[in-house]
Structure formats: structure tokens, C-alpha cells
Amino acid sequence: MVACPQRTLRLHLPDAQLVADLLLPEGAQGLVLFVHGSGSSRLSPRNRQVAREFAARGLATLLFDLLSEAEQRIDRVTCELRFDIALLQRRILGVIDWLGHDAELAPLRLGLFGASTGAAAALRAAAERPQRICAVVSRGGRSDLAGAALARVQAPTLQIVGSADPGVWRLNREASRQLHCEQQLQVIPGASHLFEEPGAMEEVARLAGDWFVRYLGAASA
């Protein structure tokens, strides 16, 4: 796997300043924004593993914290902000708009890679920015929490769920019926909600990478 230097960015949004880590392989045509789930962060080993594998396939990645440092301190006590889908959606839209003003990153086709509650926020953001978001992948996501926005999503959407996560599997099937875009639901046998089983996260990275390579125009593995 070819090493790709990481850069730390400060994203100045209208309502917050966020920290982000960027991997930008040479010749990248697509950029995947990681929208982590409840209680996670840009430092999640699982997300960083997947980001490195995406970078090896020519996909740029941006891992960022959805909450400001002050909000994270509040959320560690109350756990309420991580479930505020409207707030998370607003932050994603802020990042998308920030990228549109960056000369280096603006030309890249954008994809959203969401997990848990972050997947719902990603789908709602995709519905609001159909001209900017070219693909969405949900990993063990609560797609159902996107609500009425599901019907407005235009970006090709892949939902990945583990067979040992029956509640989320059922909710993903229900969300599939509300999506009118090109879509797939992939079930990884034996995988639980966090995909901690041997080989499970590697399979997530392969499936998601294939999806983003297809729709963002990155180089094939």
C-alpha cells in the first residue's frame, strides 16, 4: 500500500470550527467525506483503516469531527448532540460548502461515507446538495432516521449491514423501499454492528471502495 501523507485542516464553518484530516493521493478525482456515528470521532481506528484503503485506490478522504471541541465536552456528558440529526446534517452541509471554496479540493467529485446516526445525516445532506454529492455509502447506518429526505436522494446509495445486526438490517430494508435512486443493500455474513469480526471491516472497505470508484471516477485497484 503506497503511503499518502496526512494533512490536518481547520474548517471554518458559520456555526463552528472543525478539525479535519485529509488524505489526498496524487491524481485523485474523488473525495470521500467520512461521517462517523454516535460517540465516534475522526480518530476512530476503523475509519482510519478504511480511509487508508480508499487512498490506496486513488480516493481522497476527509475525516472530520462533526462537533466542535466545546460541543464534544457537552456530548460526553449528555450524549444528546450525537443524535441531533439536524445539527449533524447542518455540519455536513457546511463542510461541503467549505470544500466548494477551496481551489484544490473543489474540483473533486464528492461522496459521503456514513456510519450509524451519521449515515442518516449523510443521506439528508445528499438530498440537499444533489449537484455536489455523487455517491453515498452507509455502514451499519440508521438510514431510517433520514425520514422523508430518503425519497429526495439522487446519489447512488449503497447500504452495508452485518447479518448479525438484525435490527439495523430490518431498518435498512425499510429505508431501501423509500429510496428512489440507484441503490444496493449488501449484507456481510456473520458481521455485527461494529464489523469487528475478522475480515469484516476489510469487506466493508472493499464494497464501499468499489462503489466510490465506480461513481467518483477514481482509479481501479
CATH number of the domain residue 192 falls in: 3.40.50.1820
Q: Number of structural domains, the chain?
A: 1
Q: Is residue 85 part of a domain?
A: yes
Kindly report the pTM of this predicted structure.
0.91
Which tens digit of pLDDT belongs to each residue from 9-55?
A: 998 888 888 889 999 999 998 999 999 765 566 777 888 889 999 99
Tell me how far the alpha carbon of residue 180 is from its chain's centroid. Answer: 20
Q: Is residue 1 part of a domain?
A: no
pLDDT at 71 over 80: no
Q: Is residue 154 part of a domain?
A: yes
Which tens digit of pLDDT belongs to each residue from 79-133?
A: 766 677 888 899 999 999 999 999 999 999 999 999 988 999 999 999 999 999 9
pLDDT-derived band at 190 (thresholds 50, 70, 90) equals very high
Which tens digit of pLDDT belongs to each residue from 203-216?
A: 999 999 999 999 99
Q: Is residue 176 part of a domain?
A: yes
**Whole domain around residue 194: which residue ranges?**
6-216
Q: Is residue 205 part of a domain?
A: yes
Q: Is residue 196 part of a domain?
A: yes
